[in-house]
Chains A and B, each alone.
Chain A
Amino acid sequence: MNEETHLREQELIRELKANSRKAFDDIYRMYARRLLAYCKQYTKSLEDAEEIVQDVFVRLWNNRSRIHQEETLRSLLFTMSKNQLINAYRSRANSPAYEDYVECRAELFAADTHYRVEYEEFLQALRRALHVLPLTQRKVIELTRLQELSNKEAARALSLSEQTVKNQLSLGLKALKKELAKVIMLLGMLLYIN
């Protein structure tokens, strides 16, 4: 950070501590875009990222009197985001839907780098593709992949045996992949044209 920016930040913190809403607005203008983009890279979901950024800025205002004058805004914003961000990061990275996304990308786009389907677009395509599946297969996939129940829990929820859930899941996933390929190709083409 250059000297000028540093001085400007020190000034903003001083004004913020003196209850200046304008300083708060300036800080938002300086950092919100970058923080949102950064959080989204970990959460893979714009909405989740927005929730974190929203909470951070509300706390920044509410706790303004306790901010240390010497701190840089950049470091402060990270410190305020990290707990929520780490939780969201762990839960997304471990989610079955993200695994499906990675697999789907590997299968569909191995040879094609023209366009990139983002995780959120993938989820939309997945929801659309689910509708063509038979009801039981759809329910099994919704429960195990999107709501993240175990096969056992899903079996209980649907009053099916665990084996049936496994069978339906594997049938469903196979059918879903075919359908997804269609939906995503279409989506991809649209993106490509745009």
Chain B
Amino acid sequence: MMKETDYKYRNDLFSPEELSMFKQQLNATSDEALEKTMREVWMEDDVDTSDIDEERLRQLKARIDGRIDTDAAADKQVSGRMFVRRVWQVAAAVLLPVLILTTIYFYRESRVTASGLMVVSTGAREKAQIVLPDGTRVALNADSKLSYAPHLYNKDARRIEFEGEGYFEVSKAPERPFRIAGSGLDVEVLGTTFNLNARTEQPTAELYLEEGSVRMASTHSGREVVLSPNQRAVLNRADGSITVVATDDEQATAWRRDELVFKDVPLDAVLKQLEATYGVAIETDGRLAPSGSFTGTLFTSDLFESLKIIEKTYGLKTDIQGKKIVLSQQD
């Protein structure tokens, strides 16, 4: 990357035509070459700092101090009473392959357990994005938990334990397979993108493969399948059988777009899903018996828009009473 081009990008000086050429050039430039130019700029050039606000710098420092203190508390928890010195060294080794986190949830929800496992979890209606030490990205849906041992991860294999739903972008490293142990299932990949929905309380676990190749096995029956892109494997927990169907990603990854996608789902099941998503109670008027199943997309970030769609589809009206919503037939 030329330094002039870099300068123009940094200062927003491109015309639309130049931008499109720049993008092609950027996408053909290796990280190393990019890094070289960026390092030169950082080491040698003047950087205009006039629009950086002193107050925001202070707040940023406060957040940094907060995180350092939280990490220090986690260190202590790991070290326990005996072998303080030795455990301190181990704790440092455990904590150093630092997780890079992109959401606030991590700071609240991740912790190092007494056994030295790194655990990241989300609560109801929370999502989180994490990057593992090898660059693998995982988007966690609500009520999900991922754990791994930082001092072992990425040594010869990349092993994690997982429960819940997540969208995985596994970085390519064929010599170090990425293995997920879930309840009743085992997944092995080399480098690929997929959505895994494996909640213990549900009768089935599902893996939808977007790119690459994945092996999924039932620990119960020992059956295993190898998936190709755009296939979905459904594991039946009761008997350990696995079926593979061709599919598209609409439903599997809807949660990432803040959507709820339904195909031929009875209305009461749709309402249950809305209740769970928004933490509200939805009641139907006693006389109401809307028949017919629902097919369409609702939103996990806009309750009113979602209700409006239900209203229109079934000719209903909604009455919101605090956290309770009552559906009744339109007059």
Contacts and interface: CB of A to CB of B under 8 A. Distances in A.
- Main DSSP-derived SS at the A contact region: helix
Interface stretch (A97-105, A161-169, A185-193): A97-105
B38 A54 contact: no
Given A37-B51, A41-B10, A78 B43 contact: yes
Q: Which of A41, A46, A84 has the most CB of B within 10 A?
A: A41
B171 to A, nearest CB: 12
A149 B259 CA distance: 13
Contact of A78 (B19, B42, B92): B42
B321 interface: no
Nearest to A25: B61
B100 A55 contact: yes
A37 B64 contact: no
A36 B42 contact: no
Query: Secondary structure of the B side of the interface?
Result: helix
Given A50-B56, A93-B9, A157-B297, A58 B64 contact: yes
B48 A37 contact: yes
Interface residues of A, number: 55
Contacts of B56: 46, 50
Given A38-B42, A78-B42, A93-B22, A54 B98 contact: no
B12 A85 contact: no
B11 interface: yes
B31 interface: yes
Interface stretch (A4-12, A27-35, A171-179): A27-35
Interface string A61-90: 111011000000011001000101110011
Contacts of B19: 98-99, 102
B297 A159 contact: yes
A31 to B, nearest CB: 11
Interface of B: 9-12, 14-16, 19-20, 22-23, 26-27, 31, 34-35, 38-39, 41-43, 47-49, 51-52, 56-57, 60-61, 63-64, 67-68, 71, 92, 95-96, 98, 100-102, 248, 250, 254, 257, 259, 296-297
* Shortest beta-carbon contacts, A-B, top 8: A41-B10, A37-B49, A78-B42, A57-B64, A102-B19, A38-B47, A103-B16, A58-B67
Interface of A: 25, 28, 32-34, 36-38, 40-42, 44, 46, 50-51, 53-55, 57-59, 61-63, 65-66, 74-75, 78, 82, 84-86, 89-90, 93-94, 98-99, 101-103, 105-106, 116, 118-119, 143, 147, 149, 153, 156-159
